[in-house]
Chains A and B, each alone.
Chain A
């Protein structure tokens, strides 16, 4: 059981998909303009990760190796379609603001990467916790980046203005600001990791 918990927690810090594995940076850049978008995308991606990791792990012995990628895509696309339909039904505004990045979860490197690197080689329980951990790690990273970008770029978080009289710094609402924030956070992450491992 302890091993299973480890599969979950590794996705949060040690192998965080955004800051350590640097996967799925394109939707991260595009979606992290506001915290609501980030939470929505994170939940959708976690659902897709969980579902696809589970199914792929279950039928991993039946998928021929030479055509494994198209098979994974079909499975992942099924779950993304479910997620997209639910989003369109229950929160159409979120679907509108996420736009094309909801269907693009199909080719999100985190989902395909975990399928290829983990789910096709491990049993059901471990794949479940791995998918869950990666999804939660991705969501947390998205929330962190979008909190910074939304606050600096428009003076609000979750639509609530925080500091009175704050002049928004428009560059952070743009893709260039997104790259800046992600780059600096990556550097910070590496610095903290280095300090912890004693290599400074």
Chain B
């Protein structure tokens, strides 16, 4: 009880925010995208999400008990990791896959480094990249959207970026369909409308700042415009913004508090780097989508960025 009393000098300013409040608000902001995922891909999406969250929470709980440390499950960060991991998976994955991914995310992506606040990388992306390297077949089999009641167990379809990477011409998928998410893809990445609603909540509350998402998306769009098509300055930048995991990544994963730079200048550099890497991987790299690798690489560069964008401390030499 004594530990709850804080003794300090004035000013005594009290703010309502705490880690728990922020984390649970992020969870709420992800709910629209989750609902959209279930509408578009069916209840499979719901089971994948729930299983991933359960795996993440249980792993953090068990590891905390085994290491005899404080139980941190209630702060909501494991729930966010589970949800974000699930949003990065196709809806048709076998249910053991998100569990293994969630265990890996929390155990290796977060706890091994020392828990929340010490992780170098975004844990959900660590799990997603591990799953991609381990079971590429499951991770690239996407269900056809909006096929309720068709009578088939599963119909697969390719994602717009995959079609683009193979060099095939896209039968015209309208920007509206891209915006609403009526195409193949991962559970949480397709419905841009729902993701923007969630992002707006976080921006209004001030829990994320515009620096990283705006620079990230802007850089990717510019590079896609210049280099995205066979002829320069003919790229379809709107297509690149609306497809793949860019919106999900830019607003919810590249803005992770722990693994990204502290200062505004650093965040601008971070967003620039992410956008650059994403565009390079998408246009010239081997994978159709580069968001997860771009964010992880910039996470690794964050300590370096932080060192060189330190704010000047006035009054000291």
Contacts and interface: CB of A to CB of B under 8 A. Distances in A.
A176 interface: yes
A170 B136 contact: yes
B133 A180 contact: no
Q: Name the prevailing secondary structure of the B interface residues.
A: helix
Nearest to B131: A171
Contacts of B134: 169-172
A9 B108 CA distance: 33
A169 to B, nearest CB: 4
A176 B133 contact: yes
B207 interface: no
Contacts of A180: 108
Nearest to B133: A171
B47 interface: no
A177 B130 CA distance: 9
Nearest to B97: A167
A174 interface: yes
Contacts of B108: 180
A35 B136 CA distance: 25
Interface in A159-189: 167, 169-172, 174, 176-177, 180
Contacts of B133: 170-171, 174, 176-177
B314 interface: no
A72 to B, nearest CB: 37
Interface residues of A, number: 9
Contacts of B308: none
Interface in B105-150: 108, 130, 133-136
Nearest to A177: B133
Contact of B135 (A167, A176, A177): A167
A174 B136 CA distance: 13
Contacts of A171: 130, 133-134
Contacts of B135: 167, 169-170
Interface string A9-41: 000000000000000000000000000000000
Contacts of A170: 133-136
Report which residue of A171, A176, A177, A180 has the largest number of chain B beta carbons within 10 angstroms of its beta carbon: A171
Interface string B134-171: 11100000000000000000000000000000000000
Contacts of A176: 133
Interface in A138-176: 167, 169-172, 174, 176
A156 B135 CA distance: 17
B9 to A, nearest CB: 39
Report which residue of A169, A172, A180 has the largest number of chain B beta carbons within 10 angstroms of its beta carbon: A169
A174 B130 CA distance: 11
Contacts of B136: 170
A174 B133 CA distance: 9
A180 B130 CA distance: 11
Nearest to B96: A167
Contacts of A167: 135
Report which residue of B133, B134, B135 has the largest number of chain A beta carbons within 10 angstroms of its beta carbon: B134
B129 to A, nearest CB: 9
The 5 closest A-B CB pairs, nearest first, are: A171-B133, A171-B134, A169-B134, A170-B134, A171-B130
15 contacts: A167-B135, A169-B134, A169-B135, A170-B133, A170-B134, A170-B135, A170-B136, A171-B130, A171-B133, A171-B134, A172-B134, A174-B133, A176-B133, A177-B133, A180-B108
Given A172-B134, A177-B133, 13 more contacts: A167-B135, A169-B134, A169-B135, A170-B133, A170-B134, A170-B135, A170-B136, A171-B130, A171-B133, A171-B134, A174-B133, A176-B133, A180-B108
